[in-house]
């Protein structure tokens, strides 16, 4: 009876649900209008923080019950290795991207319960199988269908589209399968060893190679799996795609060229890393090449690879018309 005498509440809800999804700057107005239409009032602490917890606490408790043990195991396991050190960074970035779009968690659209439940059940089965059999590929990867299914059931396709990159970015948390690592690292190490040998030979160094073992002067250096560049490629791909998302170029050709450049940049950065470590060993000794400088060289070359990607983007700007870009995806706190 009260709703019949107050049709503005239905009109507000209708206006929010019909709002075009192509304007992220409207997230704040959309979320405020949606919360008003649904009877949600901002508390003294401001709009969405406390209301977010109050509205979504059952879902948050369920997700934490599922994945806190997983994160604990990762933090005390593979996240401590050089190959998977990017895992916690990926998780923090994904959570930040979701927080930036938190206004969408109050804007219900036409839901898709059939597809949502199918994805949710599939994700839960993956989680159960991965957790019980200690298969991290399934356990960590189950986050994506679980979250996507939850969004489709509760909020609909609009919220799923708004949070698509945060869900996609979680892919970089998933450890690569062993057969993929084994199949890729062997050829990569071989090519890197050949290029490093040829480069040093051209400059007159006493270098020889046997397989993936380099001999320079009295020292022998094995090009290990960490120097293959596979995990650097994985990490650089994550940072490169995040950069493209944050910049928001509208030209698909420009985006495609930047994505295509990630592989050669990562590969030649690892060639440079091996060259640097060989020269450090040759001039400063084996202890220097295997000590602090070994790890520092990897970090330095990764930073240089990122800078090369940014430099290439700057060069491509001269060949493409400038367009409206955003420095970061506007969230509900944007003005």
Query: On the CB side of 259, how many CA atoms lie within 13 Å of its CA?
Result: 12
Ranges of beta strands (E only) in the chain are 207-210, 213-216, 219-222
Using alpha carbons, list the distances in angstroms from residue 80 to 73, 137, 158, 327.
11, 17, 37, 32
Distance separating alpha carbons of residues 155 and 153, to the nearest angstrom: 6
Closest CA to 327 of 245, 205, 219: 245
Is 295 in a helix, a strand, or coil? helix
Q: Say if residue 200 is exposed, middle or buried (CB neighbours under 10 Å; 0-12, 13-18, 19+).
A: buried
Distance separating alpha carbons of residues 13 and 50, to the nearest angstrom: 21
The answer to whether the CB of 317 falls within 8 A of the CB of 234 is: no
Longest Cα–Cα distance in the chain: 91
Using alpha carbons, list the distances in angstroms from residue 308 to 71, 233, 238, 254, 303.
33, 14, 15, 15, 9
Using alpha carbons, list the distances in angstroms from residue 77 to 62, 69, 74, 82, 333.
23, 12, 5, 11, 36
Which residues, 6+ apart, have CB-to-CB distance to 128 below 8 Å? none
Provide the total of helices (H) and of strands (E) in the chain, helices listed first.
15, 3
Active site residues: 227, 273
């Amino acid at each position: 009876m009260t709703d019949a005498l107050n049709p503005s509440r239905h009109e507000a809800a209708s206006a929010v649900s019909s709002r075009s999804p192509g304007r992220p700057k409207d997230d704040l107005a959309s979320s405020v209008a949606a919360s008003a239409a649904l009877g949600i009032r901002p508390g003294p602490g401001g709009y969405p923080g406390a209301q977010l917890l109050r509205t979504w606490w059952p879902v948050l408790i369920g997700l934490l019950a599922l994945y806190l043990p997983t994160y604990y195991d990762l933090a005390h396991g593979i996240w401590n290795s050089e190959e998977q050190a990017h895992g916690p960074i990926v998780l923090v970035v994904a959570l930040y991207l979701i927080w930036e779009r938190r206004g969408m968690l109050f804007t219900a659209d036409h839901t898709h319960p059939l597809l949502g439940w199918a994805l949710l059940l599939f994700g839960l089965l993956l989680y159960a199988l991965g957790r019980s059999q200690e298969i991290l590929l399934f356990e960590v990867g189950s986050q994506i269908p679980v979250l996507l299914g939850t969004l489709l059931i509760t909020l609909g396709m609009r919220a799923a589209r708004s949070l698509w990159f945060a869900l996609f970015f979680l892919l970089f948390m998933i450890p690569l399968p062993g057969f993929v690592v084994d199949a890729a690292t062997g050829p990569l190490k071989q090519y890197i060893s050949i290029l490093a040998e040829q480069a040093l030979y051209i400059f007159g160094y006493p270098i020889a190679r046997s397989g993936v073992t380099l001999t320079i002067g009295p020292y022998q250096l094995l090009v290990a799996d960490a120097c293959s560049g596979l995990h650097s490629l994985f990490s650089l791909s994550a940072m490169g795609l995040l950069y493209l998302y944050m910049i928001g170029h509208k030209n698909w050709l420009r985006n495609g060229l930047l994505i295509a450049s990630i592989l050669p940049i990562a590969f030649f950065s690892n060639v440079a890393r091996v060259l640097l470590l060989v020269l450090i060993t040759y001039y400063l000794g084996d202890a220097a090449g295997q000590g602090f400088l070994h790890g520092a060289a990897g970090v330095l070359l990764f930073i240089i690879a990122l800078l090369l990607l940014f430099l290439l983007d700057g060069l491509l700007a001269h060949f493409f018309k400038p367009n409206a870009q955003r420095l970061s995806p506007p969230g509900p706190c944007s003005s």
